[in-house]
Amino acid sequence: MASLFLLPFLLATAFSFTLNDYRTSKNFHGEGTYYGGNPYTGNCAIRAPLPKGTYAGRLAVAISDEQYDVACGACLTITGTGKGLGANPIIGPIKAYVSDRCYECKHGDLDLSSVGDGRWEINWKVEPCNTAPRIQFLFEGSNLHYWKLQPRGMSGPCTQMLIDGKPAVLKQDNHWVYETRKAKKSAKVTVKTVMGEVIESWVTMVPRGTTNGAALKPRRRRRRGGRRWRRRWRRRIRSWGKKRRWNKRRAWKPRWKKTWRRKPKWNKQRRFGRRRRRHGWRSKHVESSD
């Protein structure tokens, strides 16, 4: 009798696609087919321009309706033995990402966007995607009171989004919707992914298009050393030497300062004294001889 009560729970765990499947890289078994369609017109709405480096070299696939909820935008590795019927066997490994929903597919089945023929046995598992330099937000039909956006470029799909601390709602087209009475041009957006990442960034709304958020990769430090570095410092040292000589000769302040002080009084008197003697000038104050 107890087994009858546990049966729905066992079926749900056996056929559902949970968040733990991402972290444990669970292997799935099913059939692979071809549909040869446009990868940018799927239900996931992962349209061009794609995030830089996230889906580079990956094939767009459609996943079964049972596994679609958390799988949109996930990266997969597909392998096969070549068993099946048709003209184009799936052997692999094939790098792919989920971009559409397949209503006719069963649990574990995948429909490839490439052109081919046949139905083949495949195995696949989820893996982290390559992160883009910065998180990207795709806006569609948005205004100051209605935000409809899609986060992109992370290592995995988004499971939760907070806009100024308030939750947004995930729609079937893989966009998050946030409605507010108070007009908002920019807000703090917090994104949580299936891989356990928490990304916070300040986002400015656009009616339609993409905007960049926080950096996902650390900035590469410039190398201190090498030929260019040595040349630069040689020039600096030479220029410092020239400035010192120039300042010492004229007794002025350095070149990089806009103001300079007057020459010392004794130097001025001595210089003008030389000029008088050289040109035979007489002093202005001549004592009269009585």
Handedness of CA 94, 45, 149, 180 (dihedral sign): negative
Per-residue pLDDT, 132 = 87
Tokens of 219: 């900035």
Residue ranges of the chain with pLDDT lower than 70? 1-25, 217-228, 236-290
Per-residue pLDDT, 217 = 67
Distance CA 248, CA 276 (A): 25
Cross-strand pairs, 198: 192
Tokens of 46: 């992962």
Beta strand pairing status for 59-64 and 94-102? parallel
Per-residue pLDDT, 60 = 92
Tell me the pLDDT tens digit for each residue of 124-156.
999 988 888 888 999 998 999 999 999 998 988
Distance CA 88, CA 117 (A): 5
Helices (H), the chain: 2-15, 20-24, 68-71, 227-250, 265-279
Tell me the pLDDT tens digit for each residue of 157-208.
999 999 999 999 999 888 999 999 999 999 999 999 888 889 999 999 999 8
Per-residue pLDDT, 7 = 39
User: Whole-prediction pTM value?
Assistant: 0.67
Integer CA distances (angstroms), 132 to 51, 163, 249, 260, in order: 6, 22, 57, 52
Distance of CA 49 to the CA centre of its chain: 13
- Sheet with 166-167, strands from edge to edge, namely 166-167, 158-163, 186-193, 198-204
Per-residue pLDDT, 218 = 62
Give the domains, in start order, of the chain with CATH numbers.
2-127 (2.40.40.10), 134-215 (2.60.40.760)
Per-residue pLDDT, 6 = 42
79 and 122 in contact (C-beta within 8 Å)? yes
